[in-house]
Structure 1
Amino acid sequence: MGNDLSDILNGLANGRVIPYLGPGLLAEAGATVPSDLPALAETLSNQVTVPHRIRRNLTAAAQYIENFKHRKTLKDLLDKTFSVETPVHPLLLDLAAMHLPLIVHLWYDDSMARALAGQASWGRIQGLSQSEHFGHWTGCYQADGQEADAAAAEQWRTVLYEPWGSLRPAGNYLASDSDFVEVLTEIDIQTPIPAIVQELRRDRQFLFIGCRFNDQLQRSFARQIMKRSSDHHWALIDAPLSRNEERFLREQNILPLSLPITEFAGRLAA
């Protein structure tokens, strides 16, 4: 593990390792907002009655709300859920200060964006729902929340890529079955993934932090976002792996490191 940590730390320092951040970081930071798919599904289901069998299935619960209560209701519920102020994990502040070319953040809170707020020359690219932005897969935003274009994104020192959207600046969310079906139909040929992300990931390695791979949705996005990058990656997972996770990590050549996030954050800060 010592050599692996040295490779990771050196890779981050020279911009060759891309952090891929998941919802588990929220729990590590002591946040009260949902930090996994079933918990978010239950939060939504507690506010709008949905069939019991889908109460812990995010995409199905979100689709039910969208179908029977309108898309605006789903968006309002997600806004309400993630507008609660969440603590920024110290690790995010350290990553922000490293001026990394690309950071992937796969959850709906804006903690990574707030960590970047004091830095110069960064912006965010978010996945868009086809039900709200038909024909447009992503939206670009400057650090101040103003809309930008692909040309502006090429000038940023750090690109924050949020494939599932985020609370801010515009409440963009991929959450329902139809949202993900649209993206997954095209993602194998990379259409929904921004060109700058495809360029920046080339030959680089990924470090997964706060991510689990025990559902097909998260595996699919990780697999496609890593495409045409390096052939060796890492994941901090300090817990037993499911059989599906073991298979996925093996197939994608992702080495699991049984190391608490707080311990890794301390090593990075040092």
Structure 2
Amino acid sequence: MTVTTAPAATDTWLTDIQQGLQARRIVPYLGPGVLSLIPEPLVPTTPEALVARLVVKATVPHKIRNRLTQAAQFIENFKHRKTIVTLMNEAFTAVPEPSAFHRWLARTGAPLIVESWYDDTLTKAYELERPQGDWGQAQGLSQSEHFGTWTAFYDAQGQLAESYGKDWSSLVYRPIGGHSPAGNYLVSDSDYVEVLTEIDIQTPIPTEVQTLRTGKSFLFLGCRFNDQLTRSFARQIMKRSSDRHWAVLPEPPTRMEARFLEENNVTRIDLPLAEVAAMLATA
């Protein structure tokens, strides 16, 4: 299995990405690892850190205490859905001060940014950098709370919107939900089963996102693909986009990560995220 790895930072990948972002041909796709750019993020920055926080507040069998979706399902089953939502809200109440890179991303006004974690750092950066309010967000919804409705749209003030706003120039798509403004979370096994049952035919992905991604390249930042859920979501969100993508992944990829990168023509950038972020944000 051969994974294409970008050479040194002086090579063409940096120029290609910079030009692609300027031309609005690249969709940044953020994972929880982007929080590593913040000295004191104040919120869980990995699934492991999140589940560790959840099980402090709720008794969970030892064998699933380190498995986020299973632990969340157990809490939901035996303590009610409201309990897991309350615990998630508590875990992500703090809003980290956005890094320079978060704020730079907001300033670029990319037509579409995908954010695959629950914290409110990026949306706070949008509030700071785009006070004119020409942006909004779309969040994935749990079917246990919103049966039959897959997505909620919110404007820059956090108000529920019927759909993509006509005056929005940038959309933050949060496929697994987010803390603000309404505490929407896909976190338990049942949440993901419902979505994965339909995602192959794209039902849970808003049509606006499907339109905005068409022909675009994706730039994965702070993402790992060593879990079936993250691979499935990324693969389906990338569908019908360009055939050229990049991922900042300094860690040696696992076998399944390598397969994902190869199958989806994702070039691995073997540099620390902070280094790449600095290169992009100062361009």
- Deviation by residue 1:88-130 (Cα, 9 ceiling, x = unmatched): 1211111111111000000000111011113130000000001
Contact kept, 8 Å, 1:153 with 1:159, in 2: the verdict is no
* Correspondence list, 1:31-46, <5 A: 31-46=41-56
1:211 aligns to what SS in structure 2?
Answer: coil
2:57 aligns to what SS in structure 1?
Answer: coil
**Paired residue for 1:74, among 73, 81, 84?**
84
**Which structure has more RCO (C-alpha within 8 Å, separation ≥ 6)?**
2
Counterparts of 2:162 and 2:24 in 1: how far apart (Å)?
Answer: 24
1:139 maps to 152
Counterparts of 2:80 and 2:119 in 1: how far apart (Å)?
Answer: 22
* Correspondence list, 1:179-218, <5 A: 179-218=191-230
Counterparts of 1:95 and 1:159 in 2: how far apart (Å)?
Answer: 12
1:164 maps to 176
Contact kept, 8 Å, 1:58 with 1:175, in 2: the verdict is yes
2:4 maps to none
Contact kept, 8 Å, 1:130 with 1:179, in 2: the verdict is yes
Amino acid at match of 1:81: A
* Correspondence list, 1:213-228, <5 A: 213-228=225-240
Percentage of matched positions with identical amino acids: 53
Counterparts of 1:256 and 1:233 in 2: how far apart (Å)?
Answer: 9
Amino acid at match of 1:144: Q
Q: TM-score, normalised by structure 2?
A: 0.93
Q: CA RMSD in A?
A: 1.1
* Correspondence list, 1:221-240, <5 A: 221-240=233-252
Counterparts of 1:133 and 1:112 in 2: how far apart (Å)?
Answer: 25
Show structure 1 runs of 4+ deviating over 4 A. none
**Paired residue for 2:253, among 222, 225, 241?**
241
Counterparts of 2:239 and 2:171 in 1: how far apart (Å)?
Answer: 18
Q: Which moved more, 1:102-111 or 1:154-163?
A: 154-163
Counterparts of 1:246 and 1:87 in 2: how far apart (Å)?
Answer: 33
Q: TM-score, normalised by structure 1?
A: 0.97
Unaligned ranges ≥5, structure 2: 1-6
2:276 maps to 264
Deviation of 1:36 (Å): 1.6
1:97 aligns to what SS in structure 2?
Answer: helix
2:90 aligns to what SS in structure 1?
Answer: helix
1:153 maps to 165
Structure 2 residue 55 is the aligned partner of structure 1 residue 26: no
Deviation of 1:154 (Å): 4.5
Counterparts of 2:95 and 2:161 in 1: how far apart (Å)?
Answer: 26
Contact kept, 8 Å, 1:25 with 1:89, in 2: the verdict is no
Q: Which moved more, 1:27-36 or 1:216-225?
A: 27-36
1:53 maps to 63
Counterparts of 2:249 and 2:198 in 1: how far apart (Å)?
Answer: 29
2:140 maps to 127
Unaligned ranges ≥5, structure 1: none
Amino acid at match of 2:149: H
Deviation of 1:267 (Å): 1.4
